[in-house]
């Protein structure tokens, strides 16, 4: 199946269940995250093949820093490994990489790796891949409000003109359409502080399988379910 013009444009995914996948197999949690990277690569590839315009992936939240340091360090290492190993393929497939989240607070080597990849793919015209790293929905909104307040206080904007469109322009996702569909595997039925502003009218799709077991077939099943829904945006 291919995505057609005026069809679904943006899918966001909460990649969940890596640790539990590993634990149930008697493996270290990092092996679950590594298996999750393999699944991630397949979903990115499939998204490009069907002509999806935007794919946003929840990789590391602001709350994930609470995990044991050995796991956090391993996750940061996996992120660098993925970016450096996959960059040429991303470029070849026309993928444009963007990172949403607080990059300034990331370890210097992680930030440098991501910034190189962003620069190397900035002119690509294919799939727009947004990776949410050190991202939190509430944090994003707070940052936007602070910037708006500063601009209003300095006279750069008129506070009376603040509306939803202006607020959107101050978010990490400025210029990106809101997700049509949010996918969360692993059996959890919550949003976990992900794109709180942007998913106000997104369709939600949940799966009981863990992320490392999530396949392009599952991804397509979610899209098919999306097409069977009636999006009314509060109307009739």
Active site residues: 16, 64
Whether 16 and 2 have beta carbons less than 8 Å apart is answered as no
Question: Residue 147: enclosing H or E segment and its boundaries?
Answer: helix 137-153
Q: Please tell me the distance from the alpha carbon of residue 211 to that of residue 193, in angstroms, as a whole number.
A: 18
What would the two tokens of residue 113 be?
Answer: 């790796």
Q: Please tell me the distance from the alpha carbon of residue 185 to that of residue 81, in angstroms, as a whole number.
A: 24
Q: Please tell me the distance from the alpha carbon of residue 152 to that of residue 126, in angstroms, as a whole number.
A: 37
Cα 229-126-110 angle, rounded to 5 deg: 100
């Amino acid at each position: 199946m291919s995505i057609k013009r005026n069809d679904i444009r943006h899918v966001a995914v909460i990649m969940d269940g890596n640790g539990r996948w590993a634990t149930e197999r008697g493996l270290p949690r990092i092996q679950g995250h590594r298996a999750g990277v393999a699944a991630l690569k397949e979903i990115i590839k499939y998204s490009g093949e069907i002509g999806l315009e935007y794919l946003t992936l929840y990789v590391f939240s602001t709350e994930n820093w609470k995990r044991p340091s050995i796991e956090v360090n391993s996750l940061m290492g996996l992120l660098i490994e993925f970016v450096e190993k996959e960059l040429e393929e991303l470029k070849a497939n026309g993928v444009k990489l963007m990172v949403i989240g607080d990059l300034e607070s990331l370890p210097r080597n992680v930030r440098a790796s991501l910034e190189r990849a962003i620069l190397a793919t900035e002119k690509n015209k294919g799939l727009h891949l947004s990776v949410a790293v050190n991202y939190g929905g509430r944090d994003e909104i707070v940052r936007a409000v602070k910037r708006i307040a500063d601009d209003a206080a300095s006279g750069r904007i008129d506070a009376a003109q603040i509306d939803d469109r202006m607020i959107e322009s101050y978010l990490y996702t400025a210029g990106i359409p809101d997700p049509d569909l949010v996918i969360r595997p692993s059996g959890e039925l919550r949003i976990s502080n992900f794109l709180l502003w942007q998913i106000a009218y997104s369709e939600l799709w949940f799966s009981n399988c863990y992320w490392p077991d999530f396949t392009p077939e599952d991804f397509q099943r979610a899209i098919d379910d999306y097409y069977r829904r009636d999006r009314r945006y509060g109307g009739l």
